[in-house]
Amino acid sequence: MPKVAPSILAADFSVLGDEVRRIGEAGADYIHIDIMDGVFVPNITIGPPVIRSLRKFTDVPFIAHLMISHPERHIDAFAESGSDIIEIHIESDQADPHETLRAIRRAGCKAGLAVNPPTPIESMFDYLNEIDLVLVMSVNPGFGGQSFLPEILPKIPAVKKELEERGLDIPIEVDGGINRETGLLASEAGADILAAGTYVFRSRSAKEAIDSLRGAGEESKS
């Protein structure tokens, strides 16, 4: 059964604290927080002060997904804001991804590494021993509400096979265009965490949407 990480990019930002509380009470396993700087991706979203202000609304773990250039400059700030997992992109401009991942762990957070749709999954294999989470992007990052790109699906079993051969028990998150149908595809391919924004936050019932994603995972096993 996959875990579900609703992405607050699709939330109502005028009542963001209430939205985070609502999604936590609906059964979210994580809160996925997209951080964009207008450089690595064209959009701009939020930073550590907002995460810090949201922390009091829920105990659900926060995933800070850093879609930013030179993430190494901001690791401590995101860790101190209340992030539990910090994800960086292998494509991002940074001095040394190895050192950035080590810095995340030194700061007391789990380290995640993301790969964009055009990037070969093998590009992250050198870093697998230094991470706690793999993030496979199923859209090109920058904006919410995009359609799932099915061509990324082979990346999931490919990285899962590599992890198993190394004896690593690391979950694989898939982010972008996730709904019940695409969640089923991702789960069938081996995804452990489904990050869904619009499908959860814009649904009639967040709980029903979250449960349906978990149900898609159960369906994939059968």
d(CA 15, CA 97): 35
- For residue 34, indicate whether it is catalytic: yes
Name the burial class of residue 195, with classes exposed (0-12), middle (13-18) and buried (19+) by CB atoms within 10 angstroms of its CB. Answer: buried
CB-CB contact of 114 with 94 (8 Å): no
3-state secondary structure at position 177: coil
CA dihedral 166, 65, 156, 4 (to 10 degrees): 110
Q: Which of 76, 175, 192, 211 is catalytic?
A: 175
Q: Which residue of the set 12, 34, 169, 211 is catalytic?
A: 34
Angle between the 155-165 and 180-189 helix axes, to the nearest 10 degrees? 30
Q: In whole angstroms, what is the distance from residue 79 CA to residue 193 CA?
A: 21
List of residues 6+ apart from 10 with CB closer than 8 A: 144, 145, 197, 198, 200, 201, 202
Whether 175 sits among the annotated catalytic residues: the reply is yes
* Torsion on CA atoms 154, 174, 4, 64, rounded to nearest 10: 160
* Closest by Cα among 55, 45, 61 to 4: 61
- Which residues are tagged catalytic? 34, 175
